[in-house]
Amino acid sequence: MRKNIVAGNWKMNTTLDEGVELANEINEKVKGIKRNCEVIICVPFTHLTSVNAVIESENVALGAENCSEHDKGAYTGEVSAAMVKSTGATHVILGHSERRQYFGENNEQLLAKTRQALANGLTPIFCVGEVLEDRENGSYNDVVEGQVEALFDLTAEDFGKLVIAYEPVWAIGTGKTATADQAQDMHAHIRKVIEGKYGKDVADNTSILYGGSCKPENAKEIFSKPDVDGGLIGGAALKADSFMGIIEAFN
Ligand code: PGA
């Protein structure tokens, strides 16, 4: 069965000391509560090893925010999936809209990155989502469908290892959240697209997270929708209290 997940995406925030302190605080707070979801923090590459040393995997899992589409070699400044894995990380965010938008990552590269992650035993948290223009001109279902279909070269077994995050680009960091119904409609659509390719079992077992200005105040309503299995949290993941408020939305 699919899992409930709350994952933090720290983006390019916190120095190493600040990051370690935040991770430690989250680990201690998560330990102290009864919770109904898996908790993951996705942190900058520079923080992975040190953060791994202060979290306990039964409380908080660790992820990176990206990895290379290449195995290894002469790619100055890149970080491979094997390197990420070697820090103790178990997850990696791929295809975040900021990577697509500012770094030109395309479907072909994202498929290659996904293959790298899977080959190295990392769980990809694969992001999809439409921009405001797509929402306004009504093409949003097709746009997101295309982003999911870019992974359809994967086997059913491999696709079944993914976590999908639906993040409408117009809702990221803007304070403008999709309504719970908009999230539910898109999540149901994504699940149907997956079912069409891989069958009902894979579709039913895929965790689909919502991301985009998710906060303690709106998480409960969004997470209550049948096809929403949790959240990928940016801004509100940078303070232990607000991140915990979202985790507790599942209680
Ligand atoms: P936000 O970011 O919660 O700050 O909107 C979400 C994300 O980009 O993953």
Token pair of 27 as six digits: 């680990």
Let me know: does 38 contact 5? Beta carbons within 8 Å.
Answer: yes
173 in contact with ligand 1, CB cutoff 6 A: yes
**Strand locations in the chain (E):** 5-9, 38-42, 61-64, 91-94, 123-128, 163-166, 208-211, 230-233
Residue 174 has pLDDT above 90, yes or no: no
Atom of ligand 1 nearest to the CA of 9: 9
Cα 157 to middle of ligand 1, angstroms: 29
Catalytically active residues, by annotation: 96, 167
- List phi, psi (to 5°) of 76: -50, 130
Distance of CA 114 to the CA centre of its chain: 13
8 in contact with ligand 1, CB cutoff 6 A: no
Single pTM value for the model: 0.98
Cα 110 to middle of ligand 1, angstroms: 19
Give the model confidence (pLDDT) of 135-159 as tens digits: 999 999 999 999 999 999 999 999 9
Cα 118 to middle of ligand 1, angstroms: 24
Give the model confidence (pLDDT) of 9-44 as tens digits: 999 999 999 999 999 999 999 998 999 999 999 999
Contacts of 104 (CB under 8 A, 6+ apart): none
